[in-house]
Structure 1
Amino acid sequence: MSTIYYLKKSWVKLPFKIFIFSFLISFLVSPFAYSETGGSVIDGGFSDDEVKRGKRFFMGLLPFEREHESCVSCHYLTTPDTMNWNPSAMDIALKYAQLDSAAFRNSVMAPTGAVMSASHQNFDIGDEDLQMVKVYLDHLAVNGPAPEKPSINRLIIFLLLGIVLTWALLDLIIFKKVKLKFIPILIFIGAFGYQLVMIYEETVKLGRSQDYQPDQPIKFSHQVHVTENQIDCMYCHHTATESKTANIPSTNLCMNCHIVVREGSRSGRFEIDKLVQAHEEERSIEWVRIHQLPDHVFFSHAQHVGAGKLDCAQCHGEVEQMHIVRQEADLSMGWCLDCHRETNVDFLGNDYYKTYEKFHKEIKAGIRDSVTAADIGANDCAKCHY
């Protein structure tokens, strides 16, 4: 009996012990699991201590009595949510990796372009300190930025909920330590219900990338090009009316304007120089694709833009107001089906729909006043999953 009593007593305290143990393990292990490897020495023969010192200068931790802004206040290390027109630390590192210290100092103290020149007016740093910054940037160019640590908070919560509901279930069936039975029942229902919600949310996210907003190799702003400079969408994405995909403009097409325009009002010359260099080297800009449907889904821009006469904003949102393009809609099947049910097609006067004689007769007879995409078979499974 004493053994059973001891087990029952220990079981009541078990969830608390497991919680403390899990917290300590996650706290102690995570720094080691994602820490950077040390001991590297870059090509110039500088040690890790010198690289770290250069990083401190870049981050503004040194010198202690500086009057100018820190480098990182403009030249970011992690991708921001809003457009930062200054070149990133990685961009600077790659561009100036091949320069010696004297050339690097000249570039820092007298940057090209009115925008960068204005931001560096009060910049003052000693030769030795700037050399350490160059060492850090060279190291960054070779090794790249540190990988972002993955968030495991939801996984820990999910596991802890599993422990709690297991304790509640076993107490109800075996141990029966809690006298008020509705307490473990409520705990079980609450923990299990929240787990189901978490599973549903994570499952829904599979294959979707709503609000995806990646950093691009060149800071291209649709707001600047479309709204401020009045460039039509079809000038760059000219295949949208006749092809399955809306093309990404080639470097040659961009150079139609930038053969003359070599300095931006916000970004200076740094970003446009990337385009010019790519053009001179006859290579394409590796833009990051944002809108991506699963491989088992057929979608045609020609069908929607060319035949259906849909406006780009109906699917992509107000891209003309975006500095950094993001995926506006979730592009789920339900979202597409709802759009097909609710959207009236440009039916009358559209040569594409001349063959739908039944609907034309019904409109003339006043039986119907509009035709939706679903009416003409847009929601048939084989339309997208042939």
Structure 2
Amino acid sequence: MKLTSPPRPVSRYLTLASVLTFLLLLSSSIPAFSADEHGLIDGHSHDEIKRGERFFKGLLPFNFKGPSCVSCHNMTPTDTLNWNPSAYAIAVKYADRDFESFKASIEQPVGNMLTKVHAGINIEDEDLKTVKAYLDNMAMTGPKPVKPSINNLLIFLFFGMLITWALLELIFFRKIKYRFIPVLVLLGSLGYQGKVVSEEAIRLGRSPGYAPDQPIKFSHKVHAGENGIDCKYCHHTAESSKSAGIPAMNLCMNCHVLIREGTNSGKFEIAKIVDAVENQKPIQWVRLHNLPDHVFFSHAQHVGVAKIDCQKCHGEVQEMSIMKQSADLSMGWCVNCHRETDVKFKENGYYETYAKMHEEMEIGDLQAVKAQDIGANDCMRCHY
């Protein structure tokens, strides 16, 4: 009979560390809520809120065959534009309204798509009250945050443990006959971790593909694409200012004073603009493109002087329902653009002082002027 040796102390410590890490992650994922002395949360019992959540997610009633609420009203941001109002948006809108108003919005929703979907829905008042209880609680506590994936972190920590084992094996244990095995494990694990650290360090301050959830479902595809609205109509300071500017709500009302119902979104989203104007509450848009504080960039120089199209930096905006960051906005990306881009040199008053270059272009000695030829890549242009 072959006897197995008891686990080494190091293995015990690693197992204990893994268990403690798991318990820490588990405890951080448990949501907290505050209740009054009667066990009520914002006037609703915990059981009502949980039952309303199950109704909203389609888990109750068991014999219900229609689409669930969450199938149309998403609870977390999505990468495609869902024109129906989100669960949190509904919760905020009806938090201060009575049950009858909430019930009326279910029976007679605004928007063509919701009208068709809600036509066959029949929910008892008692069940619908639990749904409102769940939404009222959501309006108070906020939507559940999207939990970040920890798969890459766990892999990184796993290779860290392999490095620890390889070092202990080489220095203390010396149980493996072939010494090259722990050496290979050590080198491979260090190589992987070095690669991860390098890539993550390069990504610092860069966020290509960033597409935050905005307070209003504004589609550039609808406005700039289908309706052909010029970018500078809304971002009217792009030609003369450092920033392109965020349009004021009054500018939105130039059109929406008449257009009160969208083809896709109904009245829900446009009503947010009207409410902001009437109550003088600014819309809290989430900034999309950010540069470090030590970098100077001027839209006036690029749009007003260089006549660069918005799509050059921001991508095919007219095709985006959800606006996202297209380029990584790194220094290398800017420098390469300055090296490759021809400046609109002729008949441009800004460049009249470059007399010698104009003469060379007239006689054919100079075919084109790149941005870097007139100092665009000088360090002090961006980092003064």
Q: Specify if TM > 0.5.
A: yes
Which amino acid in structure 1 is aligned with residue 92 of structure 2?
Answer: L
| Deviates most, 282-291 or 308-317 | 282-291
Q: Whole-Å Cα distance in 2 between the matches of residues 362 and 247 of structure 1?
A: 38
Tell me if structure 1 keeps the 8 A contact 2:111–2:264. Answer: no
In the superposition, relative to structure 1, how do residues 343 and 19 fare at CA in structure 2: closer, same or farther (>3 Å)? Answer: farther
RMSD over aligned Cα atoms: 1.9
Partner of 1:33: 28
In the superposition, relative to structure 1, how do residues 325 and 100 fare at CA in structure 2: closer, same or farther (>3 Å)? Answer: same
Q: Whole-Å Cα distance in 2 between the matches of residues 266 and 368 of structure 1?
A: 52
Displacement of 1:371: 1.0
Displacement of 1:361: 2.5
Partner of 2:315: 317
Q: Whole-Å Cα distance in 2 between the matches of residues 160 and 113 of structure 1?
A: 51
Partner of 2:266: 268
Q: Is 1:177 matched up with 2:172? A: no
Deviations 1:269-322 (A, max 9, x none): 000011111111123211111001111110000000111111100000001000
Tell me if structure 2 keeps the 8 A contact 1:72–1:89. Answer: yes
The percent identity for this pair of structures is: 55
In the superposition, relative to structure 1, how do residues 359 and 22 fare at CA in structure 2: closer, same or farther (>3 Å)? Answer: farther
Partner of 2:98: 100
Deviations 1:179-234 (A, max 9, x none): 22222221111100111111112112211121110111110000001111111111
Tell me if structure 2 keeps the 8 A contact 1:262–1:269. Answer: yes
Which amino acid in structure 2 is aligned with residue 33 of structure 1?
Answer: S
Aligned ranges for residues 1-386 of structure 1 at < 5 Å?
A: 10=8, 14=10, 20-38=15-33, 40=35, 41-44=40-43, 46-386=44-384
Tell me if structure 1 keeps the 8 A contact 2:34–2:41. Answer: no
Tell me if structure 2 keeps the 8 A contact 1:239–1:247. Answer: yes
Tell me if structure 1 keeps the 8 A contact 2:361–2:367. Answer: yes
Q: Which runs of 5+ in 1 are unaligned?
A: 1-5
TM-score (norm 2): 0.93
Q: Which runs of 5+ in 2 are unaligned?
A: none
Displacement of 1:31: 1.9
Q: Secondary structure at the match of 1:95?
A: helix
Q: Whole-Å Cα distance in 2 between the matches of residues 331 and 30 of structure 1?
A: 34
Which amino acid in structure 2 is aligned with residue 99 of structure 1?
Answer: R
Q: Secondary structure at the match of 1:374?
A: helix
Which amino acid in structure 2 is aligned with residue 198 of structure 1?
Answer: V
Displacement of 1:376: 0.7
Tell me if structure 2 keeps the 8 A contact 1:39–1:48. Answer: no
Which amino acid in structure 2 is aligned with residue 116 of structure 1?
Answer: L
| Deviates most, 48-57 or 358-367 | 358-367
Q: Across the two proteins, how many residue pairs are aligned to each other?
A: 376
Which amino acid in structure 2 is aligned with residue 32 of structure 1?
Answer: S
TM-score (norm 1): 0.92
| Deviates most, 282-291 or 220-229 | 282-291
Q: Whole-Å Cα distance in 2 between the matches of residues 240 and 230 of structure 1?
A: 18
